[in-house]
Structure 1
Amino acid sequence: MATTRLMPLHTGKGRNLSTAIADIIDYVKNPQKTDFGKFIYGYECDTRIADAEFLLSKRQYASLTGRNRGSDDVIAYHLRQAFKPGEVTPEEANQIGRELAMKLTKGNHAFIVCTHVDKHHVHNHVIINSTTTDCTHKFRNFWGSTWAIRRMNDKLCLEHGLSVIENPKPSRDHYGTWMGDKKQPSYHAQLRIAIDAALEEGPKDFSDFLKKLEAAGIEVNQERKHLRFRVPGQENYTRCDTLKGDYTELAIKERIEGIRTVKSRRTFAPKQAPKVGLLVDIEAAVHAGKGPGYERWARVFNIKQLSQAVIYLKEHGDMSYADLQEKASAATARFNELSDQIKNLESQMNANGELQKQIVNYAKTRAVYVDYRKAGYSKKFRAEHEADILIHQAAKKHFDRQGITKLPSVKALREEYAGLLEQKRKAYAAYKQVRSDMRELQNVKANVDYLLDIPAGRETQPDIQKSR
């Protein structure tokens, strides 16, 4: 489970563009929060000098386009992503942050992902350069971006085997303004509820539907071109078509005629069969100071888990102990295989991303380095352009280490990255299912071992059917 929030960043009062960018990047890169830089990742930028690169791209943008919005301009976007405590490792959190930023920017903007581990919950701070990598466009926040990012984030969480928030509340909940049951629904929400209630009564036609609405206290106005409603206490009318979706005038008529069907607004997760859990070590709990109440609960819990283990064997063809051993071993082997596959894909993706970054850095600084060479490697020239020269040399060293003599195109690398990402998504989907099956099989086996009094390491036992 992860929550997200996207915040546009401006220069603010008393700061210039350079200090504004440096301030936010210095905060998110804080060594005390990122395990001394261990969990910092940069895309299309060098994390050590990201503020300088962001600033340079904005100057190039202003030079190329002639646009300058002054203090109203968005210099960067700050994406915050917080995870449920204990559900994700810092490494995996950083990876999810990278994937979310890549989805949001489509690879057209430089960004850095900093995973903070100083709190009880792991969380990411992603700083996205508002200027594109080619310095010709800017990222503009769009209407509904909060929900779009939330959907992208939820999909990534599911792919990584994490939980998601089933019924998320508005982002303002995090700031204490949500009033719970004391807060009245919006007028639009009240109208939708009233429309659903009127339709549930089965009106004969649209006129009958309007009568039922009026009987429920909704004021109906048909004097103008568009149908309008007003709930008690509302000052201005609401046009029916502004309710959108299944609540426009046409949609309501289609629902009355049975042409359009609408799912219930209340959704319930299907009830799942209880999973088999491991037994509680009652003796250890008592020695640790647990009271009689806990001991009684633990005995009942253990009986339930042993029963679930027996039920599992019955439901899977009266499985023998040898079959159980074989299935548990196969599930563990498959889990390890998928885990290795995912790690290998992630390694390839990291290498691909790093190569993309170095190619872009090399191309950006090539002109400066050519001038430096023409200047006879002048110390004065180097002092004036040291940042670009260092970036260029670092890129060249990376190519040499990788044995690359001909640089691939960034487009080809991005296509390769997309292919690797798709493979990883499929592998994660299988990984999640296999992990669940493996855990349940291991729990069943551990409980059956307890029932048959099989010591650890001595698991050659007659069939379970004969031992019952």
Structure 2
Amino acid sequence: MLLATFKHISSKNADYGAAEAYLTFEHDEFTMKPTLDENGRLIPREDYRISSLNCGGEDFAVACMRANLRYEKNQKREDVKSHHYIISFDPRDGTDNGLTVDRAQELGEQFCKEHFPGHQALVCTHPDGHNHSGNIHVHIVLNSLRIYEVPLLPYMDRPADTREGCKHRCTNAAMEYFKSEVMEMCHREGLYQIDLLNGSKERITEREYWAAKKGQLALDKENAAREAAGQPTKPTKFETDKAKLRRTIRQALSQATSFDEFSSLLLREGVTVKESRGRLSYLTPDRTKPITARKLGDDFDKAAVLALLTQNAHRAAEKPKAIPEYPHTQKGRLQEEKTAKTAPADNTLQRMVDREAKRAEGKGVGYDRWAAKHNLKQMAATVTAYQQYGFSSPEELDEACSAAYAAMQESLTELKQVEKTLNRKKELQRQVLAYSKTRPVRDGLKQQKNAKAKAAYRQKHESDFIIADATARYFRENGISKLPGYKALQAEIESLIKEKNSGYNDYRAKREEYRRLQTVKGNIDQILRRSEPQRRKEQSHER
């Protein structure tokens, strides 16, 4: 998995110990069965962190079964017994952003306490993915039963979602909220992430992912057997039916300039494209039910397809007349020159080393030789970058650095303002939810007939009235006379989160640009300081 992701799995397995065993012992990635050593014993995972929450010092499985018996829940076979959430971080976070297994475990525990209060839970962090991608990931396994009453959280929409003895529900709204909170956490910790609230270009489900893995393994075994028998091998890359369909659609999109032409090209491959209620679906020859674009990914829905076809039509209209073909050798040489000119800028630009200062610090001859080579490379890279920016003097470079710094600070100011607004909206949402929760108690006060009954009622529900008074005071101090609706407020918060994500990416890009210019400026200053004494020496000889 690349970049921070979040996914959910529900389980009807009544054996809570199986979840803990999966987290702490090696399992086969295809069959999900535990891996055994030569003596038939389970093999512990090499490195992991695990902790339990709300288990009262008991084993997770025992605590869950006790709670289920106490509340008479999760006794039927079809009941969802547990929920499994997985937060996977980008493999680069370890090297680039200093993410460790211990820190990921802390983040997972904090996320669990904040968003799943009242549930018995296991939080376990693994340092690597099942496909050895190097991504640190956190497993959060919840007993679906809630063992004590909790406050009404933003993703909850029913009174039962807060009550003791009721069960956790993972709704679409809840998943959207959890994803936004994961993105918020990644921004706060300075980690890589993507916009989880929007769809993906290719939507690959867990089932398709494992079908591809198992198919590839079977194909590799078959090819090995064929090669050993001296028979020709099959294609080395396995594709699922959906992957083949995506490839066929992309090929048609790369050639078509209109929807009719697109449909015709697909029909040649045996694929029928249909439109219903503004949505596209694709029917392959081996199926009776079409596959909707939503199941393939955002690149294959109607809006994306029409946009690409329009782009192809504009490109075809602007295409220049064909020119005579160059001889093969000359064409290859021109192509190499074009590639060299359009190659992206080198990202390995680094600061040059002040060799004199390092020698004064006591650095040896070996370090000095390395520094000399390093400075020569960075001098060449600096001159190249200087020319790419189009500077004609060091003064222009200074102005560019100042402008880049100002742009970075402006972007940071805007980002902080959005964060401030977002925090205010979240606090308002928390206060609105708290005030709404006390509404039945406040309505009950109105039904009391006399002052004595009202006083007794207030004393009985003192904690609720303290919360109601505090929230009402908050509304008065902030000049809020009419409470916003929950859905409108949640939509505004999600919009602010997207704006913050965009602002953070903009700030990060401007910060990198400023740092690059600072590196160029520092190297140019060092080059000019070095050449200045040499120039004065040459002038003295001329005299």
TM-score (norm 1): 0.51
Task: Give the C-alpha shift of residue 399 in structure 1.
Answer: 1.7
For each residue in 1:119-138, what CA deviation from the matched residue of structure 2 results, as whole angstroms up to 9, or x when unmatched? x9999998999783324785
Read off the aligned partner of 1:133 and give its amino acid letter. D
For each residue in 1:410-438, what CA deviation from the matched residue of structure 2 results, as whole angstroms up to 9, or x when unmatched? 22222322332333233233223212211
Aligned residue number for residue 504 of structure 2? 428
Aligned residue number for residue 515 of structure 2? 439
CA contact (8 A) 2:352 2:378 kept: yes
Classify the secondary structure of the residue corresponding to 2:481: coil
Change (3 A) 1:216 1:420: same
Change (3 A) 1:339 1:367: same
Change (3 A) 1:307 1:249: closer
CA contact (8 A) 1:110 1:129 kept: no
Classify the secondary structure of the residue corresponding to 1:319: coil
User: For residues 129 and 408 of structure 1, what CA distance do their matches in structure 2 show?
Assistant: 34
Change (3 A) 1:159 1:275: farther
Aligned residue number for residue 97 of structure 2? 87
Classify the secondary structure of the residue corresponding to 1:273: coil
- Among 380, 384, 389, which residue is 1:316 paired with? 389
User: For residues 162 and 84 of structure 1, what CA distance do their matches in structure 2 show?
Assistant: 9
Q: What CA RMSD, in Å, does the superposition of the two structures yield over aligned residues?
A: 6.0
- Among 347, 351, 359, which residue is 1:274 paired with? 347
For each residue in 1:295-351, what CA deviation from the matched residue of structure 2 results, as whole angstroms up to 9, or x when unmatched? 322222222222222222222334321211111111110000000101110110111
- Among 383, 393, 398, which residue is 1:325 paired with? 398
Classify the secondary structure of the residue corresponding to 1:335: helix
Percent identical: 25
How many residue pairs match? The answer is 323
User: Runs of 5+ in structure 1 lacking a partner?
Assistant: 15-21, 28-54, 56-61, 102-108, 166-184, 197-213, 219-228, 232-239, 261-269, 455-468
Classify the secondary structure of the residue corresponding to 1:376: helix
Q: Where do 1:58-73 residues align within 5 Å?
A: 68-70=73-75, 73=80
Change (3 A) 1:295 1:246: same
CA contact (8 A) 1:306 1:447 kept: yes
Aligned residue number for residue 132 of structure 1? 156
Read off the aligned partner of 2:158 and give its amino acid letter. D
Aligned residue number for residue 362 of structure 1? 435
Read off the aligned partner of 1:189 and give its amino acid letter. Q
User: For residues 152 and 361 of structure 1, what CA distance do their matches in structure 2 show?
Assistant: 20
Aligned residue number for residue 205 of structure 1? none
Task: Give the C-alpha shift of residue 279 in structure 1.
Answer: 2.2
User: For residues 445 and 180 of structure 2, what CA distance do their matches in structure 1 show?
Assistant: 48
CA contact (8 A) 1:275 1:440 kept: no
Task: Give the C-alpha shift of residue 157 in structure 1.
Answer: 6.3
User: For residues 384 and 239 of structure 2, what CA distance do their matches in structure 1 show?
Assistant: 54
User: For residues 417 and 247 of structure 2, what CA distance do their matches in structure 1 show?
Assistant: 54
Matched, 1:189 2:216: yes
CA contact (8 A) 2:434 2:467 kept: yes
User: For residues 504 and 7 of structure 2, what CA distance do their matches in structure 1 show?
Assistant: 25
Change (3 A) 1:421 1:332: same
Change (3 A) 1:449 1:5: same
Read off the aligned partner of 2:495 and give its amino acid letter. G
CA contact (8 A) 1:335 1:438 kept: yes
- Among 53, 56, 59, which residue is 1:24 paired with? 53
Classify the secondary structure of the residue corresponding to 1:453: helix
Larger radius of gyration: 2
Change (3 A) 1:350 1:318: closer
Classify the secondary structure of the residue corresponding to 2:529: coil
User: For residues 296 and 289 of structure 1, what CA distance do their matches in structure 2 show?
Assistant: 14
Task: Give the C-alpha shift of residue 110 in structure 1.
Answer: 5.5
- Among 441, 452, 460, which residue is 2:528 paired with? 452
Change (3 A) 1:442 1:250: closer
CA contact (8 A) 2:81 2:143 kept: no
Q: Where do 1:321-400 residues align within 5 Å?
A: 321-371=394-444, 374=448, 375-378=453-456, 381-382=459-460, 385=461, 387-400=463-476
Classify the secondary structure of the residue corresponding to 1:452: helix
Read off the aligned partner of 2:97 and give its amino acid letter. E
User: For residues 442 and 331 of structure 1, what CA distance do their matches in structure 2 show?
Assistant: 9
Change (3 A) 1:13 1:392: farther
User: For residues 127 and 409 of structure 1, what CA distance do their matches in structure 2 show?
Assistant: 33
User: For residues 142 and 409 of structure 2, what CA distance do their matches in structure 1 show?
Assistant: 35
For each residue in 1:102-159, what CA deviation from the matched residue of structure 2 results, as whole angstroms up to 9, or x when unmatched? xxxxxxx9668xxx9xxx99999989997833247854499xx9xxx99997999699
CA contact (8 A) 2:10 2:80 kept: no
For each residue in 1:193-224, what CA deviation from the matched residue of structure 2 results, as whole angstroms up to 9, or x when unmatched? 7999xxxxxxxxxxxxxxxxx94467xxxxxx
Aligned residue number for residue 315 of structure 2? none
CA contact (8 A) 1:7 1:78 kept: yes
Task: Give the C-alpha shift of residue 190 in structure 1.
Answer: 4.0
User: For residues 8 and 358 of structure 2, what CA distance do their matches in structure 1 show?
Assistant: 45
Task: Give the C-alpha shift of residue 404 in structure 1.
Answer: 1.5
Read off the aligned partner of 2:378 and give its amino acid letter. Q
Change (3 A) 1:216 1:358: farther
CA contact (8 A) 2:86 2:137 kept: no
- Among 299, 305, 316, which residue is 2:378 paired with? 305
TM-score (norm 2): 0.45
